[in-house]
């Protein structure tokens, strides 16, 4: 990354940007407006979805100035307070920046439906999440490597990647952290007293605490720590802002918002472009080399099915011409779920940083090879609509959000219609029943 771009990105997160940052932001605005106005019919690479994976892929491709890259996003700009201000993330969950999907009504949930938040904004989930930076546990990565028979997935290999991409602003630790990379990371500064109290409570029952969750804590039986996070001066540092924004003044990278990908264009069984709905008009854009689908676990199978790739019986229900019978598309959907326990402060304390500053990993059974539980402390009341309506917990509350790291349940994603534009928060395009 060139020094001017990186300086501009870092300073753009500050409340008072300097003149160099202002100039860069204006360059980005002018350049992207021009590129969107002069939208081409062909790009070398088309990357669909600007979330964490899409942003990284598009940036790596755009580093080669000889290729043209189009990054498509169905949502809008991330330059709004609820995204940029780290402690305002709850405001995105009920907004147009969340696709608002939910699972099928389920008898195992007393007939309720489980919400499935997904970012519909530049940055995708990294623009509406809690900004916690986690390397993952050694046993999990080594398990992936064994299953794939590929050492590139093991813990040591992945740790090398983390060191390369991090710009660590904590106590120097070259074994576990790197400096100078595109991703700003630091331990939560001046954590809320309730976060420190949770760690003290963990120690009192024999759970060890660590300076960082991204160190030796991720190599053993568990422990607790203050979170490492992608927050700088109270501002979110999303993957989009870290990877894509510094390159948006370049002529070979077009970032197009409010562009819904309706299907992949196929010649035989080769992807040659995409069909998008943009400004209310359906149009086709060709790809010279590749189409990259980085939509996430719900939209990727959806677009594949809309394109004729999926279970033949499913596609026939909606008159979608079959290109390839792949019954696994949409199957084995998995997500980790959480359960909220809410307490009211005797004297309310304002949230600090991202309002989620402490966590611990632990085992539900001491015989397990790796921790399977991760409670996080959230300095706000977080609960479902039924609980909110019944108890109306005051904002002066905090939540112990108990997460399951290795859920065993699986679900399926099914189309409920052939029209791609039906995917709205109030009318989800598909159902995701738990397994």
pLDDT in tens, 320-377: 999 999 999 999 998 888 889 999 888 888 999 999 999 999 999 999 989 999 999 9
Q: How far apart are CA 185 and CA 192, in angstroms?
A: 18
Kindly give, in sequence order, each residue whose CB lies less than 8 Å from that of residue 392, ignoring residues fewer than 6 positions away: none
Domains in the chain: boundaries: 3-78+238-332+414-431, 124-237+336-404
Burial of 112 (0-12, 13-18, 19+ CB in 10 A): middle
Q: How far apart are CA 38 and CA 59, in angstroms?
A: 21
Kindly give, in sequence order, each residue whose CB lies less than 8 Å from that of residue 89, ignoring residues fewer than 6 positions away: 82, 83, 128, 129, 130, 131, 236, 354, 355
Indicate whether 17 pLDDT > 60: yes
* pTM, rounded to two decimals: 0.91
pLDDT in tens, 359-370: 999 999 999 989
**What superfamily does domain 3-78+238-332+414-431 belong to in CATH?**
FAD/NAD(P)-binding domain (3.50.50.60)
Q: How many other C-beta atoms lie within 10 A of the C-beta of residue 219?
A: 14
pLDDT in tens, 20-33: 889 999 999 999 99
**What superfamily does domain 124-237+336-404 belong to in CATH?**
Glucose Oxidase, domain 3 (3.30.560.10)
DSSP three-state, residue 100: coil
Residue 6: its pLDDT value, please? 36
Domain 3-78+238-332+414-431 and domain 124-237+336-404 have a common topology: no
pLDDT in tens, 131-167: 999 999 999 999 999 999 999 999 999 999 999 999 9
């Amino acid at each position: 990354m060139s020094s001017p771009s990186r300086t501009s990105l870092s300073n753009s997160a500050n409340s008072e940007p300097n003149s160099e940052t202002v100039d860069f932001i204006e360059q980005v605005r002018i350049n992207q407006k021009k590129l969107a106005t002069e939208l081409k019919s062909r790009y070398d690479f088309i990357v669909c979805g600007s979330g964490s994976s899409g942003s990284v892929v598009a940036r790596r491709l755009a580093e080669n100035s000889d290729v043209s890259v189009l990054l498509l996003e169905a949502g809008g700009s991330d330059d709004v307070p609820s995204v940029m201000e780290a402690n305002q993330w709850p405001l995105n969950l009920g907004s147009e920046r969340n696709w608002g999907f939910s699972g099928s009504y389920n008898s195992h949930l007393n007939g309720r439906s489980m919400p499935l938040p997904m970012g519909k904004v530049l940055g995708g989930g990294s623009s509406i999440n809690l900004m916690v930076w986690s390397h993952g546990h050694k046993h999990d990565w080594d398990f992936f490597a064994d299953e794939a028979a590929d050492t590139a997935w093991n813990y040591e290999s992945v740790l090398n990647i983390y060191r390369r991409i991090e710009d660590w602003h904590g106590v120097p630790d070259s074994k576990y952290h790197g400096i100078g990379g595109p991703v700003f990371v630091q331990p939560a500064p001046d954590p809320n007293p309730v976060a420190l109290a949770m760690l003290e409570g963990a120690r009192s029952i024999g759970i060890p605490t660590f300076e960082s969750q991204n160190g030796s804590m991720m190599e053993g039986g568990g422990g607790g720590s203050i979170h490492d996070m992608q927050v700088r001066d109270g501002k979110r540092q999303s993957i989009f802002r870290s990877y894509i924004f510094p390159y948006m003044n370049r002529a070979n990278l077009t970032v197009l918002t409010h562009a819904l990908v309706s299907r992949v264009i196929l010649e035989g069984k080769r992807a040659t472009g995409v069909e998008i709905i943009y400004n209310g008009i359906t149009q086709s854009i060709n790809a010279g080399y590749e189409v990259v689908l980085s939509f996430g676990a719900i939209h990727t199978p959806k677009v594949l099915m809309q394109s004729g790739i999926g279970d033949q019986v499913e596609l026939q229900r909606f008159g979608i011409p079959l290109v390839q019978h792949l019954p696994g598309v949409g199957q084995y959907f998995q997500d980790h779920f959480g359960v909220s326990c809410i307490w009211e402060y005797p004297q309310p304390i304002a949230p600090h940083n991202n309002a989620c500053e402490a966590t611990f990993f632990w085992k539900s059974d001491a015989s397990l090879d790796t921790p399977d539980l991760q409670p996080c402390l959230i300095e706000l009341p977080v609960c479902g609509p039924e609980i909110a309506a019944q108890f109306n917990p005051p904002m002066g509350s905090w939540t112990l959000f108990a997460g399951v790291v290795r859920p065993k349940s699986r679900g399926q994603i099914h189309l409920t219609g052939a029209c791609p534009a039906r995917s709205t928060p109030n009318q989800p395009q598909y159902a995701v029943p738990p397994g």
